Amino acid sequence: MNNAELNALKNQYVASGGAPANGAFAARAENAEIWDEDGQRWIDFAGGIGVLNLGHRHPKVVEAVKAQLDKVMHTCSSIMPYAPYVQLAKALCELTPTRGTARKAFLANSGAEAVENAVKIARAATGRSGIIVFDGAFHGRTMMTMAMTGKVLPYKNDFGPMPGDVYRAPYPNPAHGISDEQSLAAIRTLFKTDLAPHRTAAIVIEPVQGEGGFYIASANFLKALRALCDEHGILLIVDEIQSGFARTGKLFAIEHSGVEPDIVTMAKSLADGMPLSAVVGNAEVMDTSGPGSLGGTYGGNPLSCAAALAVIKVIEEEDILSKSQQLGQVLAERFAVWADRFPAFAHPRNLGAMAAFEFIDPATGKPDTTMAPALCQKAKEKGLILLSCGFYGNTIRILVPLTAPGALVEEGLAIIESSLEELTR
């Protein structure tokens, strides 16, 4: 079937809330390229929203999934366990920089499930219920994680009251007038006005915000947050769902700060396209909920675990962390050129290859909410998949696979540059 025929089926049978705006349907993909059902080639700077750090169909990941497919597809890990689950749990516990020498892991399907289970574990471990999150955060689309997500449209607008005992503080964002000190002061104010420290189970933070705009929490802020949690017996949960698995030049973004959280949530590029998430934390904390309290029919399924084990191996064998750092440098250098050329181009930033820039009205200094969607549309017309994001919808994020050849990255950046030229004439 071609794109037009598939679009007709989509319009007839797919719920509008979940129907993609893109009218092209992927037929095949390789590394950082996709070919649609009409044969058009696309350069992928979205990576499945950060799922494909190793690119589409990395050969070693595909090989691992195929090999597992010949053994066991599913038993439900709580009914009849299998080796890949415990092997992956071991690997993640050895790699994740949480507090303590003893760690344990729990596997689920999606980032939202990981965050929900992290909250459950934190509440069980502390005997408290309050959760503090940040403006602009994105933690998922289930009811609990929607309550934790700090953006109404399109995620929360139509779905009624959210679960309670979730409180919000401003994310430190000097580019938009929020200093580290102001964010910390807001949490202390919360302790006085809405949520006493002795009722607070956890503070949950993305060290680099994903949907919120790729803003980077400073090492000093994260250290101060760790100290604040320690002062009051609060658990620190770090959400690495979009920033993890080499995107920032470290396996986890929190490693740039030297801070050790109590719990880390991860998903997306953990299994390079297969559905998998994990919660990893201090063993004592992870073991506080009762037997059978954590689980799910498909969580940690054998195929996804096999993929994740291959991902971990590839990151080491192919020196993906260095590739991320090198790609980040390429992006930073190009951003500097654009900052000089285009007046609306503002606040370029990157941590490794987790990179973004935004658009500001030069006359007022306020966010320009029209340029980012216009740039995405213009890039699409030229065969480049590009994503916007941000609290104001004025940010462009770059999530090209870390394995993309340099020439392909340059081709994609040239499309962005020519599109900016056309939009700013």
The CATH code for residues 3-57+319-423 is 3.90.1150.10
Q: State the Cα–Cα distance between residues 315 and 360, nearest whole angstrom.
A: 37
Given a contact cutoff of 8 angstroms between Cβ atoms, the answer to whether 221 and 179 are in contact is no
pLDDT in tens, 30-63: 999 999 999 999 999 999 999 999 999 999 999 9
Which tokens go with 88?
């992956």
Nearest to 117 by CA among 261, 368, 293, 270: 293
pLDDT in tens, 212-260: 999 999 999 999 999 999 999 999 999 999 999 999 999 999 999 999 9
pLDDT in tens, 165-207: 999 999 999 999 999 999 999 999 999 999 999 999 999 999 9
pLDDT in tens, 358-388: 999 999 999 999 999 999 999 999 999 999 9
Given a contact cutoff of 8 angstroms between Cβ atoms, the answer to whether 50 and 399 are in contact is yes
Question: How many Cβ atoms sit within 10 Å of the Cβ of residue 371?
Answer: 23
Q: What pLDDT is recorded for position 154?
A: 85
Which tokens go with 291?
């037997």
Q: Where would I find the beta strands (DSSP E) of 182-321?
A: 200-205, 235-239, 263-266, 277-282
Q: Where would I find the beta strands (DSSP E) of 206-361?
A: 235-239, 263-266, 277-282, 345-351, 354-359
Q: State the Cα–Cα distance between residues 401 and 307, nearest whole angstrom.
A: 16
The CATH label, of 3.40.640.10, 3.40.50.720, 3.40.50.2300, 3.40.50.300, for the domain at 72-317 is 3.40.640.10
pLDDT grade for 20, boundaries at 50, 70 and 90: confident
Q: State the Cα–Cα distance between residues 176 and 11, nearest whole angstrom.
A: 39
Q: What pLDDT is recorded for position 305?
A: 98
Strands 41-44 and 384-385, sheet pairing: parallel
215: phi then psi, degrees, rounded to nearest 5:
-75, 145
Q: State the Cα–Cα distance between residues 29 and 55, nearest whole angstrom.
A: 9
Q: What pLDDT is recorded for position 335?
A: 98
Q: State the Cα–Cα distance between residues 382 and 254, nearest whole angstrom.
A: 36
pLDDT grade for 155, boundaries at 50, 70 and 90: confident
Given a contact cutoff of 8 angstroms between Cβ atoms, the answer to whether 263 and 100 are in contact is no
pLDDT at residue 152 tops 90: no
Given a contact cutoff of 8 angstroms between Cβ atoms, the answer to whether 368 and 359 are in contact is yes
Domain boundaries, the chain: 3-57+319-423, 72-317
Would the CATH topology of 3-57+319-423 be identical to that of 72-317? no
Which tokens go with 419?
């599109």
pLDDT at residue 326 tops 90: yes
